[in-house]
Structure 1
Amino acid sequence: MLYPMSPKVVELKRKLESFMDRHIYPNEERIYREAEELGPWKVYPVVEELKPLARAEGLWNLFLPESSHGAGLTNLEYAPLCEVMGRSHLAPEVFNCSAPDTGNMEVLERYGSEKDKERWLKPLLAGEIRSCFAMTEPAVASSDATNIESSIVRDSDHYVINGRKWYTTNATDPRCKICIFMGKTDPNNPDRHKQQSMILVPMDTPGIEVKRPLPVFGFYGVPDRASEVVFTNVRVPRENMLLGEGRGFEIAQGRLGPGRIHHCMRLIGLAERTLEKMCRRVRSRIAFGKPVSEQTVTQERIAEARIMIEQARLLTLNAAYAMDTVGNKVAKAEIAMIKVAVPNMACQIIDWAIQAHGGGGTSNDFGLTQAYATARLLRLADGPDEVHRNQIARFELRKYSNV
């Protein structure tokens, strides 16, 4: 292997795969049923039942790099484990490795005060509460984070927050107790990247209204608990500011780097699972006198899917290695490349799998519509394809600035 796994990672991967076989795959129908029947405002019992089992087996908080609170894995070491978890929508939260909690925990670990860590990070690490990240806004093109209009205004020993956010994952979850909110403290600063700040906002603060859950291709709760939230004159103490005024964009860039790796590795796992479903389906169905697996078009798609998955995995492992060795800021191009390549790869493979399943592929019976919703969502989340492509092109053109 180009990036061999250490003995520690090999053992964790073995334990993860065993747990998936024993507890995750057998409960997938249940998580989709509970999400549909209970809706996005409720806790899904199956998740709470499985979390203690995962924690007891040491499969807990694997995502936190260089931290005494997690497994102490690098991004490269965590990548194959994240891929395993990505094979099922149920898995990440069961192992306390789901977004946006992972990114929020990393922010609290790096920038939170000791008081913040005790009040918020500790219960998040224990899986006792959940969190949300309020950045995207419906009134502006949020692909450019400098467009954010929400305000954070200093008032003596407090800040007053106003704004409307959406696609705020987890806000409808009754366990969601803390929000990391991004808004402008200095809207007139000539440096547009120093206008924004991030601040901790307890979800029980007066003035917060979770307006509605937002469906993702008609799904509420799985694959995402997207929500619209309104903040009206929300007052929080001055010490809730993270890192300092004007540092929000800086925090966002540091937060999103690892998150993009996590999203991409999970999608590779989802693509692998989808290809398995496709292969099993076409081997079991007869059309025009022979198995669908013997149709040339099917074989071409299976071959292309295998090639695309392997390419995406190597590209993502390379990005993880770059993040570990030169840092997130220097690895910007590698991170941007996977953020474009992997969701597009997954969308294509899931589309082929839907086609191979016939009409049934468009139902919810095979998990393919849920998989497609996830993959398509991730062509937008953490920055749309177009933004990342522009960034990649700029990096490439700089090589020829003196030509």
Structure 2
Amino acid sequence: MAFQFSDAALALQARVKDFIDSEIVPAQPDYQREVADARRQGNAFIVPPTIERLKAKARAAGLWNLFLPQSEHGAGLTNLEYAPLCELMGRVPIAAEAFNCSAPDTGNMETLVRYASPAIQQRWLAPLLAGEIRSAFAMTEPEVASSDATNITASIVRDGDSYVLNGRKWYISGASDPRCQVLIFMGKSDPDNPDRHRQQSMIVVPADTPGVTIVRDMSVFGNDDAPHGHAEVHFDNVRVPLDHMLLGEGRGFEISQGRLGPGRIHHCMRLIGKAEAALEAMCRRTLERVAFGRKIADQGVWRERIAESRILIDQARLLVFHAAHMMDTVGNKGAAREIAMIKVVAPNMACKVIDWAIQAHGAAGVSQDFGLAQAYANARTLRLADGPDEVHRNAIARLELARYQ
């Protein structure tokens, strides 16, 4: 299958690339300096001025909310048209946020577009679309294997004109960001329902609601990942109005499947960009360094790794394009197999390519100077986020076996 893009889509790719090269890449050192200065002062969870300046420039340039497919709120791109743009953003850590296209906000905005009432959309979706606030998604729990969403133990109990929420969530991305003003909480509202997939609900929770407490910031490979971060959040008798329920009681699992499909493929698109950047760094490093009397690039093992990296990246990109095409043509549910396949392939591919790039850089590869250590940590966590490899492989096998039963 040949994936061809319209002239308009190609022009948008060129505009995004130019903005990244001319605005975001030169601003990256300033951003890193702002975060480092804040960390030295004891609080790395800040709003870096650089990112806000970049957001204003991107919005003024019309490069804003590009992720929303076929929506009045975004650029109206298909998933396939968005894929190369998301890949470009993946090359630079702060690029996605500069275009208001970063997780978990993208998934939350899509959820609110699809499932929230007009009043909730006006209150929370509008400022998210404007990039004025940020959000978090509270599903993962420490006590259970959250890869099976039916396992969650957090509770949602109706009490008069409110729902009362209780539960312990962790690795809640972005909850410590001072701009995070709203969370989407998943809990069990009907734990005794014989249909395990009708026990859960999702509800919108203002971050300043009494009983919502950030207990600690979780580290990832020893790094707090500030200023975005991943927090442990406790919900203790949190009261939320009835009209904050999304879609209706018992519809949480249904929402999660609709939300995670686009989120999964967006992660994979960005990982293609991270792997491309790592391969570029690997090539440049091996061409400029000499070991044992010749350039590293002239040694067989590195030619093997460079060639294998190119093959792996291009294979993954084609699978991403195919999954995006399927989402556009048969819908997210119809593309479940393809989404699961790329969610396994892309993080594993990126981990391998980035690891080779780290090896090519020697000690510098694990330093803060080249961004490879951060890229590897991100790629490795995505073998867990939005479902671990094992869950997706099981889903692929189940769908494949169904063809013969």
TM > 0.5 between the two? Answer: yes
CA distance in 2, matches of 1:222, 1:295: 39
Distance in 1, Cα, partners of 2:33 & 2:148: 37
Deviations 1:130-170 (A, max 9, x none): 00000000111111111100000000110000001011111
1:149 and 2:153 aligned: yes
Partner residue in 2 for 1:309: 313
How far 1:218 sits from its partner (Å)? Answer: 2.5
Q: Distance in 2 between matches of 1:195 and 1:48?
A: 40
TM-score normalised to structure 2 length: 0.97
8 Å CA contact 1:212, 1:228 repeated in 2: yes
Matching residue of 1:241: 245
Query: Does residue 390 of structure 1 match 2:394?
Result: yes
Query: For residues 148-201 of structure 1, what are the alpha-carbon distances to aligned partners after superposition, in whole Å with 9 as ceiling and x for unaligned?
Result: 000000001100000010111111011111100000000011111110000000
Give the direction of change, closer, same or farther, for the CA distance of 1:266–1:223 in structure 2 (3 Å limit): farther
Tell me which amino acid in the other structure corresponds to 2:23: H
Instruction: Note if contact 2:176-2:217 (Cα within 8 Å) is conserved in structure 1.
Output: yes
Among 126, 130, 133, which residue is 2:134 paired with? 130
**Distance between the aligned counterparts of 1:59 and 1:37, measured in 2?**
29
Counterpart of 1:109 in structure 2 is 113
Segments of 4+ moved more than 6 angstroms: none
Task: Determine the structure 2 residue equivalent to 1:22.
Answer: 22
Give 1:363 shift: 1.1
Q: Which amino acid aligns with 2:249?
A: E
SS in 2 for 1:50: helix
Given the two structures, how large is their TM-score scaled by the length of structure 1? 0.98
1:289 and 2:298 are equivalent in the alignment? no
Measure how far apart 1:41 and its partner are: 2.3
- Judging changes above 3 Å, is the alpha-carbon distance between structure 1 residues 150 and 192 closer, same or farther for their aligned structure 2 residues? same
* Aligned alpha-carbon RMSD (Å): 1.2
Q: Which residue of 1 aligns with 2:330?
A: 326
Deviation at 1:251, TM superposition (A): 0.2
1:41 and 1:400 map into 2 onto residues whose CA distance is 52
Matched residue, 1:203: 207
Aligned equivalent of 1:299? 303
Equivalent position of 1:378 in the other structure = 382
**Structure 1: 5+ residue stretches without partners:** none
The aligned residue for residue 32 of structure 2 is 32
- The question of whether the paired residues in 1 share the 8 Å contact of 2:157 and 2:165 is answered with yes
> Residue 194 in 1 paired to residue 215 in 2?
no
Instruction: Find out whether 1:169 has 2:173 as its counterpart.
Output: yes
Unaligned runs of 5+ in 2: none
User: Structure 2: how far apart are the matches of 1:318 and 1:138?
Assistant: 35
Deviations 1:284-312 (A, max 9, x none): 00111111000000000000000000000
State the 1:46 CA deviation. 1.2
Of 39-48 and 61-70, deviating more is 39-48
- Per-residue deviation, residues 212-235 of structure 1 (Å, max 9, x unmatched): 111222232359521110000000
Tell me which residue corresponds to 1:225.
229
Q: Give a deviation string over 1:66-111, Cα, whole Å, max 9, x none.
A: 1111000011110111000110111000100000100110111111
Amino acid at match of 1:172: S
Q: CA offset at residue 25 of structure 1?
A: 1.2
> How far has the Cα of 1:28 moved from its partner?
2.1
Cα distance change of structure 1 residues 37 and 166 upon mapping to structure 2, 3 Å threshold: farther
Kindly indicate whether residue 344 of structure 2 is the aligned counterpart of residue 340 of structure 1.
yes
Deviates more, 1:218-227 or 1:376-385: 218-227
Mapped to 2, the partners of 1:263 and 1:224 lie a distance apart of: 16
Q: Distance in 1 between matches of 2:261 and 2:172?
A: 18
Instruction: Please point out which of 212, 219, 232 is paired with 1:215.
Output: 219
Secondary structure of residue in 2 paired with 1:187: coil
Inter-CA distance 246–159: structure 2 relative to 1 (3 Å threshold)? same
Identity of aligned residues (%): 65
> What secondary structure is seen at the aligned counterpart in 1 of 2:167?
strand
1:57 aligns with 2:71: no
User: Once the 2 structures are TM-superposed, how far is the Cα of residue 30 of structure 1 from its aligned partner?
Assistant: 3.0
Instruction: Check whether the contact 2:46–2:227 (CA below 8 A) recurs between aligned residues.
Output: no
> 2:94 matched to which residue of 1?
90
Structure 1 residue aligned with 2:266: 262
Contact 1:165/1:229 (<8 A) preserved: yes
- Partners of 2:316 and 2:44 lie apart in 1 by 32
**Distance in 1 (alpha carbons) for counterparts of 2:52 and 2:197:** 40
- The Cα offsets for residues 107-126 of structure 1, whole Å up to 9 and x where unpaired, read as 11111111111110110000
Give the distance between the partners of 2:33 and 2:286, measured in 1 at CA.
26
Q: Does structure 1 residue 2 correspond to structure 2 residue 6?
A: no
Contact 1:89 1:223 in 2 (8 A): no
> Aligned residue pairs: how many?
401
Per-residue deviation at 1:395?
Answer: 1.0
